[in-house]
Amino acid sequence: MDTGGNSLPSGTDGVKRKVCYFYDPEVGNYYYGQGHPMKPHRIRMTHALLAHYGLLQNMQVLKPFPARERDLCRFHADDYVSFLRSITPETQQDQLRQLKRFNVGEDCPVFDGLFSFCQTYAGGSVGGAVKLNHGLCDIAINWAGGLHHAKKCEASGFCYVNDIVLAILELLKQHERVLYVDIDIHHGDGVEEAFYTTDRVMTVSFHKFGDYFPGTGDIRDIGYSKGKFYSLNVPLDDGIDDESYHYLFKPIIGKVMEVFRPGAVVLQCGADSLSGDRLGCFNLSIKGHAECVKFMRSFNVPLLLLGGGGYTIRNVARCWCYETGVALGVEVDDKMPQHEYYEYFGPDYTLHVAPSNMENKNSRQLLEEIRNKLLEYLSKLQHAPSVQFQERPPDTELPEADEDQEDGDERWDPDSDMDVDDERVKREAVEPEQKDREGLKGMAEQARGFDMIADDSISTKVLDMSSMPIDEPSIKVEQENMSKASDHMYPHS
């Protein structure tokens, strides 16, 4: 398989990447309710394919550590997170006013284990960012993540907690600039809104535009203040195919990589842009969708791959299995191996599905106008924007490995290793780090958090990161003997 690009430090042949993959065996048990198109079961189906194709043995498989309430509050409002923690199907009738306030109830229903679900998928995304920050992998994958519509104070579009924003905040502790690319059919509005006024995060969203949820993502929406030209929107029409998509994707992203020079990339791989999606209206093949992953991988920049939308679940599993292979540099066979969900993939039992013959409403003239306009915006950017030097909070620390552990390669941070065959979970017990306690205290006093802008003319909920430092989010081992350390690690602004 032609992978392109030069090898990363961890790869000797230009093909291999060190990949860590986050998966919680419980994630497929969460259920939005009868008739709801969002089905977490698709994550379990994807995992089964990965196991039977033999891909898991090529990756570090990790069970995500659940994000804690305070971790989620690094972006979300305290009262919103508290509501998510407390609401249950049994109590929701007593909290109708709160349900309306936080946009929970219809598209975003209350279901059993809702908060645990949020903790799990957010934990995988932030955990992946931590791994990348520490150089422990080249690519991190969390197919349960990518819920890009959630806002600071409300749920939206089947999304409750914005794991993407939380992961980007983690990456910003190590990298001056982070690029977010969204290939879901829906506009990545929650992520764009969060970083609309900063030049440290660039967001690029390719999406269906015009009388389609969430209704945002006009080509004229380009960011504000310091963030002007750091939000790019690629509005597309029904039926776009592989060739048309890459006519835009490759030159635009190529130019973004050249001028923005991100230290890390987050790619949201929503599979509702595939042909035949239950809610979508694009006509991409799995290989065409995966070409975006392959292209991002070729730049050899730390890469976080996340899930997102996708409502024809057999095709979602096909897509994310194939894209895991692309991340690993492995071409997987089209003939599907026998596995526990084999009957979902009949009558062909193949990995790839042919696109339909639907009309492509994206004319070459329209595509050219979009491409030229976006390249014009990019020409207005200064190369690699400067970032003011300042003291920053400490990185999320990885616990010291147990000296008795035999395999050094198996020493990974608070996130536990998962033995895939029997789903046994090994957890390393660690003592909290004592070093730099005074320095931590000083930074805690210094940290101011984010300046929240409440300007109705732009957005009511955006992050201004011109005055970093960034608070310490993230995932730490939750043990009794670490509770004191946590008070130092998570200063209150």
Confirm if 265 and 296 have CB atoms less than 8 A apart: yes
Distance CA 330, CA 347 (A): 25
229 to 188, 332, 467: CA distances (angstroms):
16, 39, 19
Amino acid identity for residue 6 in this structure: N
Residue with tokens 């890390």: 264
Nearest CA among 147, 3, 124 for reference residue 65 = 124
Indicate the SS3 state at residue 97.
Answer: helix
Q: In this structure, what DSSP letter does residue 405 have?
A: -
Element (DSSP H or E) covering residue 444: helix 437-446
Distance CA 425, CA 81 (A): 28
What is the C-alpha radius of gyration for the chain, rounded to an integer number of angstroms? 21
What are φ and ψ of residue 266, in 5° steps?
-115, 120
Cα angle value 174/178/179 (rounded, 5°): 160
Confirm if 86 and 373 have CB atoms less than 8 A apart: no
- Residue 149 catalytic? yes
Confirm if 21 and 144 have CB atoms less than 8 A apart: no
Helical packing angle, 364-379 and 242-260, nearest 10°: 10
Nearest CA among 190, 195, 211 for reference residue 309 = 190
Residue 445: CB atoms within 10 Å:
9
Q: Reduced to 3 DSSP states, what percent helix, strand and coil does the chain have, rounded to the nearest 5?
A: 35, 15, 50
Catalytic residue among 149, 175, 207, 289: 149
Distance CA 355, CA 397 (A): 46
Q: Known catalytic residues?
A: 149
